Amino acid sequence: MRFYMVQILRNSTGCSDVKWFTSRAEANREFRKHQGKEDMHTFEVEEYDIPTKKTELLRWLNNNGNPNGMGFN
């Protein structure tokens, strides 16, 4: 199952927001919405192929889940 992540970093606070989408088009719209705004730094849209079987999903989460696998938390 494919998901698309957009991460927005607020320069003033150093905090970031992560938003997930089921379509690349939606993720690209969100990316463009924040692009060029003062105080915001938007990272590129990242695609993730997330497994749906329980064992594979658990392995994926252990390898990629927050706090160190993806995004800034």
- Per-residue pLDDT tens digits for 11-54: 777 777 889 999 999 999 998 888 877 777 767 788 999 999 99
Residue 73 lies in a domain: no
Residue 42 lies in a domain: yes
Query: Band of the pLDDT at 67, cuts 50, 70, 90?
Result: low
Residue 6 lies in a domain: yes
Name the pTM for this structure.
0.73
Q: Which whole number is the average pLDDT over 5-13?
A: 82
SS3 assignment, position 18: strand
Give me the pLDDT at residue 71, please.
52
Residue 71 lies in a domain: no
**44 vs 66: which has the higher pLDDT:** 44
Number of domains within the chain: 1
Residue 35 lies in a domain: yes
Residue 21 lies in a domain: yes
The domain in which residue 40 lies consists of 2-64
SS3 assignment, position 19: strand
